[in-house]
Every structure is written in structure tokens, then in C-alpha cells.
Amino acid sequence: MKNFYKKLLLVIVLICFSNHGFGQSNEIKIRFIGNCGLYMTDGQTNFYIDFPYKSGAHNYMEYDKSEIDSIKENSIFIFTHKHSDHYSEKLLKKLTGQKFDPSNVEKLETLNKLVPDFNIKAFRTTHKVFGISFKHYSYLISWHGKNIYISGDTENADTFGLQKDIDWAFVPVWLMIDAKQKELNLSEISKMYAIYHIGPNDRITLESDQPQMILLDKQGEIISIPY
Ligand SMILES: [Zn+2]
């Protein structure tokens, strides 16, 4: 009897491997690290968005040191802005790969030639702290025919509201509140929403009449986008 279960287990493990394991998977995998930090890969190219940041900065999410150790070599790092809950110069210095932030955002175009089936558009968006404007960009990534919108910290839905046919939008809750006040047609803008940058005191509940939405409140959560 024991052997039977062992075999059964082995079969289940093999099935799992054949589905999700090796070779061409034809999916973009996005792993939520913390705050606006995302790891995004198609199995060939590795992106980190708003990561590495300073763990626990501004009272936002901490992360395990293993996150830094497991960063893939020669990755592409893209930042919406340089606040410490999104960006760490100190950690970045130790990493190889290409790095993009608002100071060299015009160089992002080079990725469109370098990465197969990839296009990125940068939008200058507002992020004011105590009334002072901070250089900030939101990004629209088209990869393998899928549109992924990275909002970052921008405070209003003005740029976001001009988008449509997004597959996955990564947005903070305050942007959703602004979008709602402006009566934007959310389901026309994006099929799926991931609410990120959730703070320790945020209590967010999803309304059932909303388009498809998930809360990124669990670090390590994986979003799969088949293409
Ligand atoms: Zn932030």
C-alpha cells in the first residue's frame, strides 16, 4: 500500500513538472516582492521593477535578505522614482545588469531592440511630496502581445485614464480611488488589476461589482500571464 502512494505521489510530481517545470512555458511570470517591487520574467529575460528598495523604508514592507541574493545576473532594473521604498542605490551598486530610472529614462528605448517582442513606453507622471514635485514615471510595457501597466506612486489617474486594452495594471489604491471619483471606465482600461503598495495601516476591501482585481498583500504572490 505504501508503495502505491509513493508511486501516486511521483506521478503527481511528474505531472506538475511537465506543466510548470522546464522548457518553453509561454507565460510571463510576475512575482510580487513588496511595495511596488516586482520580478517579471518570460524565462529568458529578467526584469525587476522598483526593486531593490530599502527593506522597511517609510514603514512599508520589509523583505527577506534572500530576495537580494536570488536576484538573477544581468537583469534589467526599472524604477518609477528614487524614493527609498522603491529604490536603493546601495543595493543596486552590487548588482550587474542594466538600470533605468527617471534620470536615464530616454535610454529605455534601447530595450525595445534588445528584448524580443518587447516595447516600453514611459509617461512622466506627478508625485508630489510636501508640495514638491519629484521626478516620477509610469510605464506601459508590451511584451509578447500582453500589455502591463506600472503606475508606481503617482497620485492621480490622469495618465492612467488615457490607457486602454491593458491586460494587467499595477496600481496603488489611491489611484483607484481617484479613478473612481473621475468615473473612469475601469474595465475598458484594463482587464485585470493588481493593487500594490499596501501600507501597514491600509484596510482595503474589494467591491464585488469591480472588474477583476487582486490585492497584493501577500509577498511572494505570483501572477501568470499566458501568451
Ligand atoms: Zn512609495
Model confidence over 123-177: pLDDT tens digits?
999 998 888 889 999 999 999 999 999 999 999 999 999 999 999 999 999 999 9
Query: What's the rounded mean pLDDT across residues 35-61?
Result: 97
DSSP 3-state assignment of 224?
Answer: strand
Alpha-carbon dihedral sign for residues 52, 123, 60, 224:
negative
pTM, rounded to two decimals: 0.87
Confidence check: pLDDT of 56 > 70: yes
What spacing in Å lies between the alpha carbon of 35 and ligand 1's midpoint? Answer: 7
Q: How far is the CA of 53 from the centre of ligand 1 (A)?
A: 10
Ligand 1 centroid, distance to 76 Cα (angstroms): 20
Whether 19 is in a domain gets the answer no
Whether 2 is covered by a domain: the verdict is: no
Give the distance (Å) from ligand 1 centre to CA of residue 49: 13
Residue appearing with cell numbers 506627478: 126
Report how far ligand 1's centroid is from the alpha carbon of 88 (Å): 12
On the question of pLDDT at 6 being above 70, the answer is: no
Residue 54 is assigned to a structural domain of this protein: yes
For the chain, the average pLDDT equals 91
Q: How far is the CA of 151 from the centre of ligand 1 (A)?
A: 11
- Identify whether 133 is part of a domain: yes
Q: How many CB atoms lie within 10 A of CB 82?
A: 16
Q: Total structural domains in the chain?
A: 1
What whole-number distance in Å separates Cα of residue 42 and Cα of residue 27?
6
What's the gap in Å between 37 CA and the centre of ligand 1? 10
**84 CA distance to ligand 1 centroid (A)?**
8
The 10 Å Cβ neighbour count of residue 78 is 25
Judge if the upstream peptide bond of residue 172 is cis by omega within 30 degrees of 0: no
24, part of any domain: no
Of 74, 25, 76, 26, the residue nearest 49 (C-alpha): 76
Residue range(s) defining the domain that contains residue 174: 30-226
Report the pLDDT value the prediction gives residue 202, as an integer from 0 to 100. Answer: 86
Q: Is residue 22 domain-resident?
A: no
Residue 172 CA, ligand 1 centroid: distance in Å: 9
CATH code: domain of residue 203: 3.60.15.10
pLDDT tens, position by position, 72-108? 999 999 999 999 999 999 999 999 999 999 999 999 9
Domain-located, residue 105: yes
What's the CA gap between 227 and 223, in Å, rounded?
A: 13
Residue 26, CA atoms < 13 Å, CB-side half-sphere: 4
CB-CB neighbours of 90 under 10 Å: 9
